[in-house]
A and B are shown apart, each in its own frame.
Chain A
Amino acid sequence: MAEQLSEYKRIAIVPALNEEETVGRVIGEIRDFDPGFDIVVVDDGSVDRTAGVAADRGAHVLRLPFNLGIGGAMQTGYRFAFEHGYDIAVQIDGDGQHDPSQLPKILEPVLSGEADLCVGSRFTGDGAYRSSFARRVGIKIFARVVSAVVRQKVTDTTSGFRAVNRRAIALFAADYPHDYPEVEATVMCVKHKLRLKEVPVAMRERGGGASSITAVRSVYYMTKVLLAIFVGMFRRYAVPVEEEHR
């Protein structure tokens, strides 16, 4: 894997909102896995030392002037990856829930050319994942809906542990969903005729900070995402070109 990886210009995109306690460790762990990974931390309007910690550890830091939400933050990272000509990008949350030692699992299908987007799923195999009842129901509903829309079995639609190739980087740099993007991004990829693969990974409990999805917002979140998926079914999609001009 390491030799194969070294042929590609590769980057880890780390979205972070008030993760000063964990972002340094995440950067260290990505380097431990592969020192050849460039790292860009997208600081989505943190009020703590997130940006400072990341810069001290030698990561590129994109500091957004105010909170754009995870969708806007991720797209900033993808724009950076696109404009700097990266071949491979991985998404790893700055809160420490994604374990960089699991990177080979999501990278393998992308490197072998089997998938354009590979998502690490908490549910399809190893790694017990605990969460509240309401959250599990929501996750099940999304899994059913997305599986039906993309005509492929998907178990973990909200996972932000992902690896993509240049085609998907180009697509996401040009167009990325707002607010809570993972579910829509998955659907969007398939609509654009990119190949999606889901692989089982082990995830950790969140290292610090608080989840961006509180109980109050989850109803709004579900409605909004289901609406976006529904309306999206009536759009036409172009197949993205790797070096398109925007």
Chain B
Amino acid sequence: MTPLPVSIAAAVASFLLLVVVFELIRSRRLRERYALLWLLTGVVLLALSLWRDGLNTIAGWFGVETYPPAILGAVGALFILLVLLHYSTVISRLSDQNTILAQRLALLEQQLREG
């Protein structure tokens, strides 16, 4: 069984994550579309921290008998990977768009100079 202090600490941490993400959206420093994955991370981690029997059961599925909270770390790491992968796609799109903007600007400047 997961030690109670671990469950409490994990629940507090995931709740804090949710609060921080909410505040970032509210103050317009984070757009909703980039917040959804973070919110999902927070909700899943919070659920797994509070639902201690469930964490045990899931740990059992993966043959983790000695220390169920390891699942919390694994799920957290999985979500971090997802967020990073998502960011890689976002950066790729931004850099493509940046190229297009620079090209359009160069063409415009040429038109202004010679037009």
Contacts and interface: CB of A to CB of B under 8 A. Distances in A.
Interface string B2-29: 0000000000000000000010011000
A227 B31 contact: no
B104 A65 contact: yes
A240 to B, nearest CB: 16
A178 B31 contact: yes
Interface majority SS (helix, strand, loop, mixed), chain B:
helix
B32 A66 contact: no
A224 B33 contact: yes
Interface residues of B, number: 14
B33 A231 contact: no
B35 interface: yes
Interface of B: 22, 25-26, 31-33, 35-36, 39, 96-97, 100-101, 104
B104 A227 contact: no
A65 B25 CA distance: 27
Contact of A179 (B33, B35, B97): B33
A235 B31 contact: no
21 contacts: A65-B97, A65-B100, A65-B101, A65-B104, A66-B96, A66-B97, A178-B31, A178-B32, A178-B33, A179-B32, A179-B33, A220-B36, A224-B32, A224-B36, A227-B32, A227-B35, A227-B39, A228-B32, A231-B22, A231-B32, A234-B26
Chain A, interface size category, equals 10 to 19
Interface in A180-237: 220, 223-224, 227-228, 231, 234-235
Interface of A: 65-66, 178-179, 220, 223-224, 227-228, 231, 234-235
Contacts of A65: 97, 100-101, 104
Contacts of A66: 96-97, 100
Given A65-B104, A231-B22, A231-B26, A223 B97 contact: no
Nearest to A236: B26
Contacts of B100: 65-66
